[in-house]
Amino acid sequence: MPRHRLTYFFYILCVIGLGLLSRTCYIPELIYPYLGDFLYAVMFYCIVAFLFKNKSSKYIFLISVSICYLIECQQLLSFDWLIAFRNTTVGSLILGHGFLWSDIVSYTLGGITAFGLEKTGLLKKKIAF
């Protein structure tokens, strides 16, 4: 069953909102360092699902998590222009700062969660607007 793009667009906006909220003082200290990266992977799952509405959930999972891994690995690069972009608000939100293995784990768990939600049918339900 193909995905409904409007529904996934709504999910993308919701996850972005949750991601921004995850950087507030209301998030418990235990999960604060990981929640943003977890939600980042969920957001990328929804973006890839939005773009490729007829592809399998497994394909969406592999592409979205791979994108997150690549973004994390680019943090090992130290080109002046890349560092300058990372030091902007937008660059920091998109590309982050400093490679961490815990981010890889968070991306994996976020991707698995989004995959699981879609496989159970919770993400594919059409939202009536």
Q: Closest Cα partner for 3 from 47, 53, 45, 44?
A: 53
- Please tell me the pTM assigned to this model: 0.89
pLDDT digits (tens, 9 = 90+) for 72-121: 999 999 999 999 999 999 999 889 889 999 999 999 999 999 999 999 98
Q: How many CB atoms lie within 10 A of CB 35?
A: 19
| Cβ-count burial 99-123 (b if 16+ within 10 Å, e if not) | eeeebbebbbbbbeebbebbeeeeb
The domain segmentation of the chain, as residue ranges, is 5-119
